């Protein structure tokens, strides 16, 4: 791996045709172990709900499992979708994770729900007070709750009630703000938090978001200067032809989402190659492919380095989206594994 460019991993844990959730999660944890061995800086799990092709629904559970199997790589969320959860619950979960793996936990926080309105209501029906409008205050609450002094509640009569996410913290997770809009960039700058632009799914607004973040950044107790990196969809294979083939299942899934077609488990490469392709699907696939990094290890490594240099970054977080061929072991993810191995 280049000394100038650090690589990290964002995992949505794709579930392919014929694969169980258990098999998909098992393969993802194998990737986390390999990333640890290869020197990746971070391994983050996303939060998505009720999607047939995505098994990453509960980042804290997955982070705990990955932390137990690794020794060096930072593990975290990319991200916890805060409107779905009560701030105290998030603070307690990540304080516990920090106790399990001191100095290795990242709490990436997002403002989007990560699903459709029905699922959002189901997540909130237990009574959480989280909502998008109170997002900045809930981030501040989490920062206070996970700190040594805790958070204080003051009552009208003058009384005070102190709340701690854990009884005796000696450290707290690094909190990152995630987003793909001007709002998230400006909020991260205002709060003096590190920021990640979700480039893996948003193809517009990158330059403006980074400029807003960097030019309006206000130093905080934890961060003196702006700190940021980008995400990117990446596929590497021994040949460019194989890499392009392994891109097809996720590209077709992307097109289905954009055109409102029913979603299912991720197709195999073989099924994707054999499927008919209409003009609209081809257009959406082409648009997405133009923003992905696909090719041999040398090609992708060079392209990522140029991408990072262009935007003044020392880190890129890859989402390894390589599909699988029929007949490949369902308990492993060979295409995703070789992506991690070939670009370091």
Q: What is the DSSP annotation of 305-320?
A: HHHHHHTT-SEEEEEE
Beta strands in the chain (DSSP E): 6-11, 42-45, 74-81, 105-110, 151-154, 160-163, 174-179, 195-197, 228-236, 293-295, 315-320
Q: Report residue 197: phi and psi, to 5°.
A: -90, 125
Tens of pLDDT, residues 270-301: 999 999 888 999 999 999 999 999 999 999 99
Tens of pLDDT, residues 154-170: 776 778 889 999 998 88
| 43 token code pair | 């391994």
Yes or no: say if 67 and 104 are a contact pair by the CB < 8 Å rule: yes
Domain ranges of the chain: 6-342
Mean pLDDT of the residues in the chain: 92
* DSSP SS3 for 167: coil
Could you tell me which residues come within 8 angstroms of residue 337 by beta carbon, excluding any fewer than 6 positions away?
A: 30, 31, 34
Residue for token digits 């197709």?
267
Q: What band does 115 get if pLDDT is binned at 50, 70 and 90?
A: low
pLDDT at 2: 43
Selection from 107, 118, 109 nearest residue 51 by Cα: 118
Q: Is 183 exposed, middle or buried (0-12, 13-18, 19+ CB in 10 A)?
A: middle
pLDDT at 125: 54
Q: What band does 177 get if pLDDT is binned at 50, 70 and 90?
A: very high
Pairing of strands 228-236, 105-110: unpaired
Tens of pLDDT, residues 102-113: 999 999 999 876
| 183 token code pair | 């709002």
Superfamily of domain 6-342: Luciferase-like domain (3.20.20.30)
β-pair partners for 76? 44, 106
pLDDT at 129: 45
pLDDT at 153: 76
pLDDT at 117: 66
pTM of the predicted model over 0.75: yes
pLDDT at 263: 92
Tens of pLDDT, residues 188-240: 999 999 999 999 987 678 999 999 999 999 999 999 999 999 999 999 999 99
pLDDT at 121: 65
């Amino acid at each position: 791996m280049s000394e100038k460019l650090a690589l990290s991993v964002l995992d949505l844990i794709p579930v392919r045709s014929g694969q169980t959730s258990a098999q998909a999660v098992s393969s993802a944890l194998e990737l986390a172990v390999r990333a640890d061995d290869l020197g990746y800086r971070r391994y983050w799990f996303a939060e998505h709900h009720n999607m047939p092709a995505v098994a990453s629904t509960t980042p804290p559970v997955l982070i705990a499992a990955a932390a137990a199997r690794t020794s060096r790589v930072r593990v975290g969320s990319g991200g916890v979708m805060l409107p779905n959860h009560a701030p105290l619950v998030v603070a307690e979960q990540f304080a516990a994770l920090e106790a399990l793996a001191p100095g290795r936990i990242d709490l990436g926080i997002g403002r989007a729900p990560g699903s459709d309105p029905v699922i959002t209501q189901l997540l909130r029906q237990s009574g959480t007070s989280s909502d998008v409008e109170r997002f900045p205050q809930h981030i501040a609450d989490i920062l206070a709750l996970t700190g040594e002094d805790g958070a204080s509640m003051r009552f009208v009569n003058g009384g005070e009630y102190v709340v701690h996410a854990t009884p005796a913290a000696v450290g707290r997770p690094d909190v990152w703000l995630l987003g793909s809009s001007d709002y998230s960039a400006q909020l991260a700058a205002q709060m003096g938090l590190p920021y990640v632009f979700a480039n893996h799914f948003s193809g517009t607004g990158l330059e403006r978001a980074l400029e807003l973040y960097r030019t309006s950044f206000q130093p905080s107790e934890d961060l003196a200067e702006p700190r940021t990196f980008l995400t990117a969809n990446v596929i590497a294979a021994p040949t460019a032809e194989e890499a392009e083939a392994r891109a097809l299942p996720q590209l077709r899934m992307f097109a289905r989402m954009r055109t409102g077609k029913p979603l299912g488990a991720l197709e195999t490469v073989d099924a994707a190659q054999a499927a008919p392709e209409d003009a609209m699907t081809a257009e959406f696939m082409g648009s997405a492919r133009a923003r992905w990094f696909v090719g041999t290890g040398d090609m992708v490594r060079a392209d990522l380095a140029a991408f990072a240099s262009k935007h003044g970054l020392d880190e890129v977080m890859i989402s390894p989206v390589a599909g699988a061929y029929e007949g490949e072991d369902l308990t492993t993810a060979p295409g995703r594994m070789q992506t991690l191995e070939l670009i370091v």
